[in-house]
Each structure stands twice: as structure tokens, then as C-alpha cells.
Structure 1
Amino acid sequence: MKVNSDSSSALQKFFGPNQILVQATSPGRMDVMGGIADYSGSMVLQKSISQKATATIGIRNYNQLHIKSLDITSQNEIYIDLDEIPNNYNEAQKYLRNIEGGDWASYIVGCYLVLSNEKKVKLGGLDILIQSEVPVGKGVSSSAALEVATLKAITELFHVELTDTELPKLAQMAENLVVGAPCGLMDQLASYFGDNNKLLPILCQPDKLYDLVEIPENLYFVGIDSGVKHAVSGASYSEVRTAAFMGYSIIAQKIGVSKEDLRAKKNSELPFGGFLSNICPSQFEADFARSLNSMYGKDFIHDFGVVTDSLSVIKPDTFYNIKACAKHPIYENYRVNSFKQLLKSVNEHNYEDMLPIMGELMYQAHESYNNCGLGNEMTDKIVNMARIKGYQNGVYGAKITGGGSGGTVCLMVYGEKGLQSAKQLFEDYQEQTNQNSLVFFE
């Protein structure tokens, strides 16, 4: 939407008095089910949170980007000459990593570059002011919220028309290719299409959206911040993703696909549509599980040679837990679809029959994260506290969210009793861990 630079003191200080401005917002999201199975083609269920990122943008008379963040206490303002930044994404990533403030600014600059390059739009200089309520490193997609808000503002300012899932795809490209984080498309889709009062089902093959699912009355999905920051650009997330694609490659070669075909063919031409999640659990256990052994990257390269994912980097001296990482999306897709059907039934039947099963699916998903190596003792602590609260206190399930290795735990609670139990659990956790800056997401 268009705004006036006189509408707030922050805008007055940053923008010119008569500058035409466009402002856009986008929320963070909570991963109720699906998580790290997105890049393997799973169904996921996502819920928007109330916290939003805001980008306010105006045309600048100089051929540079002037970017300021109101959330960063130091190095929060940066000027980037557009003549200096490379158009090539890899080169732009290196350039931004070598300048002061380039780490946080890469999310915004990445959006600018992919929109300019992919849509062939002449953008020119911009003044960009960003502010976000979405806390960083909590597993609630602060980066996706910022990227989507930035792209929404730029496309409105320049009247760029995008269709269907095009904007989230551009946001993902910015994070993958310019920021250098190998995230799936789930976060950006959820930030763009999500709803705070409903769950958004996405089949990540790569971006099939289903109708929003109503959250039944008196059922709540709330988040408890563990206080442990995580980042999808971290090594453990990348290694789990790589191990999953190593598992797919082993399975495909076991049933006769050549290395050359894995390199050259599209997903649609490969077994299971190129996605692990299209393998049903029983077939996995019967036909493939025994073929997946943990191994060093150099041994995989020697024996199997190739993965189908361009973002997976096989490190020769890294030891990969291939079976657990390949098993997770196969079982998670089954869990998510089961959870979705049970959720639809809660409105039609007695909740006491459905919620314990849904909660067990969440607990199973959490343990599967741990088996992949993306658990954390503090998120485990919250999940165990939820188990102890139990059905009698309205707490039915809990699981780590997003990329794992810390971040937020999503709880499923029922009724006012369950909501109060979750808030009490949050307060108890704060007291036990002596952390006063944690966030409770409703």
C-alpha cells in the first residue's frame, strides 16, 4: 500500500518529504507439521503467526540501494552502489559477504537482484527501510517474512505483475542463491499465502497449494521459544538435506537408474517423481531401508557419484547419516497427511478420539528430527514438559519446528485449560532456564 513519509517519525527521518512510498507486510510462520521434509516433496501444514515484517520502499535519485534496518543495533544502515554489485548470483553472494552489514542486507539485495534478473525489470536506485516483529533464529521464518515483504513492496512500486506462486519462488531464489541458505520453498509460500486462524497445506513438489484447513474451535497451536538460535544456513541442516538426497540417489540406482540419468533427467522422469516423500513407509522398509548405510561423503562419491539436488554439497570428509535422513521425509509425509485428515474430523467427532492420535504424530515427528541430528536438549526439554502436562491438562502434542537445532517448539492444546497450561509451561521454562527474553507465539 502507498504511505506518506510524514506518517511516522521513522519514515520522516529516512525518506524525503515528498517521496512516493510503498509499504508491504508479511507474517512469520509456525511449522505445525512437515518441517524439513519440504525439500523431499512432503505435504506440510503451516500456520501464520501474528508477528510481521514490514518493508517500506521509495525510488532513490542515485544508482544505489540505501537500506536501513530498525531492528539491528549496530551496522544497521548500508549503501550499495548498483554499478559495483555483480549480477551473477554467486559473485553477488561473495561480494555481500565481504562488506560490512552485507550479511543481513543480502536478504533484501537478493530480492532486488532476482526480481531484476528473472523478470527483466529495470529497477534503479531505491531507499529501503525495514522493520520486523518476527524474531530471528526462532524457527518462525524471519527471513522468508522479510523477503516476501520486500518483494511485495518492490513489485507494487514498479507495477510488476506476478502470478500464482511466482513471488514466493523468487523469494526462495534470493535465499538460496544470494544469501546462500539451502531452504525449501515452504517458508516463503507460508509467509505469502498463510492464515493465522487456519492451516495451509502445501505439497512441496514444489508448490501445490491446497485449501486452507479450519482450525477447530478451542484448538490452539502455540509456540514456545527455546532460546536457542538456529539458522538454515548452518552446517547440520545442510548435511541433513544432503544426506536425504544421497538416500534418494542410492534408492534410484538400486532400482536401475543410471548416474547419467540422475544428472540429466527431470524429476518427473525419475522414480517416485524424483521425491523421497512419494515412497510409502511400508515399501521403504521392505525394499530400500537395508540398502541405506551411513558413510563418508568420499565413499558416496566413489560408489554412487551424484545427487539430484543442486543445493546439496557433498563434503568428502563428512560422515552422513543417510538412512535416518532419508527415512524422515517418507514417514513425515505419511504423518502430515494423517494429521490433516484427523484435523478435518475433529469438527465432526468427539475431539477426545482424535487429538491423542494427532499429538502422537507430532511427538513422532519430533523424535524423527532427533534421529536426523537436528534435535536440541532445550527443545527436548520443552517437549518433555508438554508430555508431563498431558491430556489431563489439555496438552496433546509438541514438536520442534522449521529447520530444527533449536528454535521454537509448537504445542497443540485444547480449550482454555490447555492454553493456560501452555502459558504456564512457558513461564516454568523461562524460570528454569533463567531466560527473560523468550517469545510465546499464539
Structure 2
Amino acid sequence: MTAAQDDAIRLFRSLTGSAPAGVWSAPGRANLIGEHTDYNEGFVLPFAIAQRTFAAVGPRDDERIRVASTFSDEQVEVALDELDGLFSGPAGEAVRSGAVAEWAAYPLGVAWAALAARPDARATGLDIAIASDVPVGAGLSSSAAIEGAAAGALSDLWSLDLSLIDMAKIGRRAENEAVGAPTGIMDQVASVMGRVDAATFLDCRTLETRSVDLGLAGEGLALLVIDTRVTHAHSTGGYGDRRAACERGAAALGVPMLRDLGTDDLERARRTLDDETFRRVRHIVTENQRVLDAVRTLDASGPRAIGDLLVASHASMRDDFEISVPELDAAVDASLAAGAIGARMTGGGFGGSAIALVERAAVDAVSRAVAAAFDAAGFRAPHLFTVEPSEGVRRDA
């Protein structure tokens, strides 16, 4: 039992005086390649990580749902029949108005979205105690981990019989509408569908998925996460501005979504769009192609052959989409200078983490080089750790 799982159980006992009916968990995720392509109905290649969020859950004898977590002293309790009134208004209004704390809107939003998806469900009251070892604000989707753990618990305890893609859709709706963060579905799919030593290739238009073997263990490679400790928030940051630019670009170019453009369309886009919108569009179009190239390369040649694609992805996010920050650039540059096969920022940007594909034997040396580069630049010391592609949503107890 991990410390986070034990924390969730102890919190539940302190709330209720009894043991939970069960414990469910879901992992955070890192994205190997394919950033901001998801809400453009494009392609992504994320993977689940070993760090997880745990939900200890048990039934109540009333029709109320109470959530508590180790990362807030606040408990939030709502009647089940009040959830729709809480979250059915403008996206994120419950959070913005202070009606519900943002952290609580994730599990409560999942309950609301699950009931909307299964209106005939015989839902009972629940107590939910949450603990996590997924770093918050690091671009590793701590939010999707909460959503996945909650969805797994509700599927079982309310007999909803949710498929994995159902859980991902419910998590996305909770994040988009209850919390008000305009994200795509990549994070939720990666969290619920993870597999050991594999990434999940997702077509965000059709929601078709394929597990892609990474083969890191056999090649003696590791994925090093460099958490810059520059925090971000999708619901309040520049994420929405980038999404709006993509929508403007698609409309101006006469396509439903940027997914419908290929690299051959970029010259027309250059002539049609203002410079900033063109660069936003160019990132999405070229990033979609890099995801497809990465999948083909992994299938044909293995993980050592994808380094240049990772580097090109970071350059595109830095220069065209402009979502990097100096700390992320320093992490990537120092990793490559110290011998990393490839490196790029991962996540929504404006902070968070970079990942570096490195020889397992060189993890310590690359980590020292990155730490030294941050120190020389006067940046806050980064948090460095390796991640292993891991299992998705599950019941743990």
C-alpha cells in the first residue's frame, strides 16, 4: 500500500469512523508528444505514470455526497439532487462564484456528469476521501487522476457499468463544465487507459485508441520529469487564448477543425492569416504530423529513434504556440547538452514540467546538469524524478 492510499483510508476513517467500502485510483499522465492537438480533434500520444490519486469511498444512509481531501482542510457536502443546479449553468460558474472550491468541483463534477450519462442510475449518498502523490501544477494532470479515481468508484458503487472511454468522457465534461477548464479529452483517456511500458495513441476526433509499446525497459532508457515548479492553472491561464486562436484559424481557412489541415496547407494559411494566428495553426498542424511520425517510428525502430521529434515539438511550442517559459527551455536545453536523446515540455504550458528521454545509467548525470543550469540562471531548484508508463484506473481495495 502506498502512502497516498493509506492517507486516503485514514482520512475516510476520520470522517466517518468506519472503513471505506473500497479504494479506487487513477494515475497522472505525461504526454510523450502531441500538445494542444486534442481540442483540435487531432492526435496525441500520452502515457499514464506511476504516481496516482486514491479515492476511499463508502455509502451514506442519505442522498448526499461529501468530499474531503488531504490537500484542503475544507469538506464539501452537497445533496445529489442539487448537483445539476450547481453545475448546469455557465461553465465554471460554481467555482468562479465561490459556491464550490475548485478542488471539490472535480469529484463532484464527475458525480454530476455520471448521473447525466446514466439518468436511470440508482445513486446513493457517498463519502469520498481523496489523497494523491501526483504533483499538482506540474503538468502531469493531477486533475484527470482525481476524475478517474472518482469515476471508477462511482461506476462500481452506483452500478453504472462505465467503459473506460465512458469514464474519460465523464471526466472531460466535469473538467470543462463543472470546473470551467477548456481542455480536451487526452488527459482523461491517458489516465484511465494506461498500460505498463506503453503509451496510448488517441485520435481525438473518433476517440479510437491504440496501445503503443514504448520498449523503454528493454532499451535501458528512462523518462526523466523536470518539474520546474512554475505552477499554472488551465482555467485561468493562457490556455483559453490558444484555443480561441485555433478556432479563428480553422474558421478563416474554411475547415471544421485544424485536424482537417495538413502540412501542404500551411502556405495557404500563411497567406490567409495574421502572423500570430498562423504560428498557432502551424504548431497544431506540424504537431499532429509529429505524433503520427512518432507512432510509426516507435513501431518500426523503437524509442531511441524519436529524439528529434521530441526536440522539434518543443521548438514548435516555444516559438509558434508560445507556451513555454524560460525554466522549461532551460530544462530542455540542459538535458540535451548532457546527452538526453530527446526532450520537450509536456502539458498545457506556461509552467509545469519537461520530460527528457535518457539512458537509465545517465539519469543522475542529466539531473545534476539540469539542477546546475537552474542554479546558474537564478531559477528555483527543479524537482526531478523518473516516471514509468503504468496502469490506468483500477480498484485497489
TM range (shorter): 0.7 to 0.9
Is 2:234 the partner of 1:285?
no
Contact 2:227/2:382, CA 8 A, preserved across alignment = no
Following superposition of structure 1 onto structure 2, how do residues 20-31 of structure 1 map, counting pairs within 5 Å? 21-31=21-31
Contact 1:165/1:189, CA 8 A, preserved across alignment = yes
Q: Alignment partner of 1:335: what SS?
A: helix
- AA in 1 matched with 2:105: S
Query: TM-score, normalized by length of structure 1?
Result: 0.79
Following superposition of structure 1 onto structure 2, how do residues 228-239 of structure 1 map, counting pairs within 5 Å? 228-239=230-241
Residue 56 of structure 1: CA displacement? Answer: 1.4
* 1:206 to 1:106, Cα distance in 2 relative to 1, 3 A: farther
- AA in 2 matched with 1:277: R
Separation of aligned partners in 2, 1:441 and 1:6: 23
Following superposition of structure 1 onto structure 2, how do residues 47-66 of structure 1 map, counting pairs within 5 Å? 47-66=47-66
Contact 2:55/2:129, CA 8 A, preserved across alignment = yes
The total of aligned residue pairs comes to: 377
- 1:244 alignment partner in structure 2: 246
* 1:102 to 1:441, Cα distance in 2 relative to 1, 3 A: same
- 1:158 alignment partner in structure 2: 158
Contact 2:228/2:383, CA 8 A, preserved across alignment = yes
Of 359, 362, 369, 1:425 maps to: 369
Q: Alignment partner of 1:212: what SS?
A: strand
Any stretches of 5+ residues in structure 1 without a counterpart?
253-270, 295-320
- AA in 2 matched with 1:80: V
Separation of aligned partners in 2, 1:111 and 1:78: 14
Of 240, 243, 257, 1:275 maps to: 257
Is 2:366 the partner of 1:366?
no
Separation of aligned partners in 2, 1:160 and 1:224: 38
- 1:104 alignment partner in structure 2: 103
Contact 1:87/1:113, CA 8 A, preserved across alignment = no
Separation of aligned partners in 1, 2:137 and 2:164: 29
- Identity, in percent, stands at 26
Deviation readout 1:199-252 (Å, 9 max, x if unpaired): 221121141101332324212222110110112213411111110111111111
Contact 2:67/2:128, CA 8 A, preserved across alignment = yes
Range that drifts further, 236-245 or 94-103: 94-103
Separation of aligned partners in 2, 1:362 and 1:234: 27
Residue 434 of structure 1: CA displacement? Answer: 6.3
Deviation readout 1:260-300 (Å, 9 max, x if unpaired): xxxxxxxxxxx5xx33234221x223433210115xxxxxx
Q: Alignment partner of 2:383: what SS?
A: coil
Any stretches of 5+ residues in structure 2 without a counterpart?
1-5, 388-397
Q: Alignment partner of 2:36: what SS?
A: helix
Q: Alignment partner of 1:368: what SS?
A: helix
Residue 6 of structure 1: CA displacement? Answer: 12
- 1:79 alignment partner in structure 2: 77
* 1:364 to 1:6, Cα distance in 2 relative to 1, 3 A: closer
Separation of aligned partners in 2, 1:378 and 1:228: 8
Residue 94 of structure 1: CA displacement? Answer: 2.6
Residue 106 of structure 1: CA displacement? Answer: 0.5
* 1:52 to 1:382, Cα distance in 2 relative to 1, 3 A: same
Contact 1:245/1:326, CA 8 A, preserved across alignment = no
Contact 2:22/2:57, CA 8 A, preserved across alignment = yes
Range that drifts further, 225-234 or 137-146: 225-234
Q: Alignment partner of 1:331: what SS?
A: helix
Residue 87 of structure 1: CA displacement? Answer: 5.8
**Aligned-residue CA RMSD (Å):** 2.6
Residue 127 of structure 1: CA displacement? Answer: 0.7
Is 2:297 the partner of 1:342?
yes
Following superposition of structure 1 onto structure 2, how do residues 295-314 of structure 1 map, counting pairs within 5 Å? none
Following superposition of structure 1 onto structure 2, how do residues 337-416 of structure 1 map, counting pairs within 5 Å? 337-347=292-302, 355=305, 358-370=306-318, 371-389=320-338, 393=339, 395-416=340-361
Of 265, 269, 278, 1:323 maps to: 278
Separation of aligned partners in 1, 2:8 and 2:112: 29
Separation of aligned partners in 1, 2:95 and 2:375: 40
Separation of aligned partners in 1, 2:159 and 2:269: 50
Residue 345 of structure 1: CA displacement? Answer: 2.9
- 1:13 alignment partner in structure 2: 14
Separation of aligned partners in 1, 2:284 and 2:52: 29
Separation of aligned partners in 1, 2:21 and 2:95: 26
Q: Alignment partner of 2:351: what SS?
A: coil
Range that drifts further, 402-411 or 52-61: 52-61
Q: Alignment partner of 1:328: what SS?
A: helix
Separation of aligned partners in 1, 2:153 and 2:335: 40
Residue 196 of structure 1: CA displacement? Answer: 4.3
Range that drifts further, 39-48 or 239-248: 39-48
Range that drifts further, 148-157 or 162-171: 162-171
Separation of aligned partners in 1, 2:95 and 2:79: 12
Contact 1:38/1:184, CA 8 A, preserved across alignment = yes
- 1:222 alignment partner in structure 2: 224
* 1:127 to 1:198, Cα distance in 2 relative to 1, 3 A: same
- AA in 1 matched with 2:289: Y
- AA in 1 matched with 2:266: E
Separation of aligned partners in 2, 1:440 and 1:336: 25
Residue 88 of structure 1: CA displacement? Answer: 5.1
Deviation readout 1:349-370 (Å, 9 max, x if unpaired): xx8xx63xx2222122112112
- 1:89 alignment partner in structure 2: 88
Q: Alignment partner of 1:210: what SS?
A: strand
Q: Alignment partner of 1:76: what SS?
A: strand
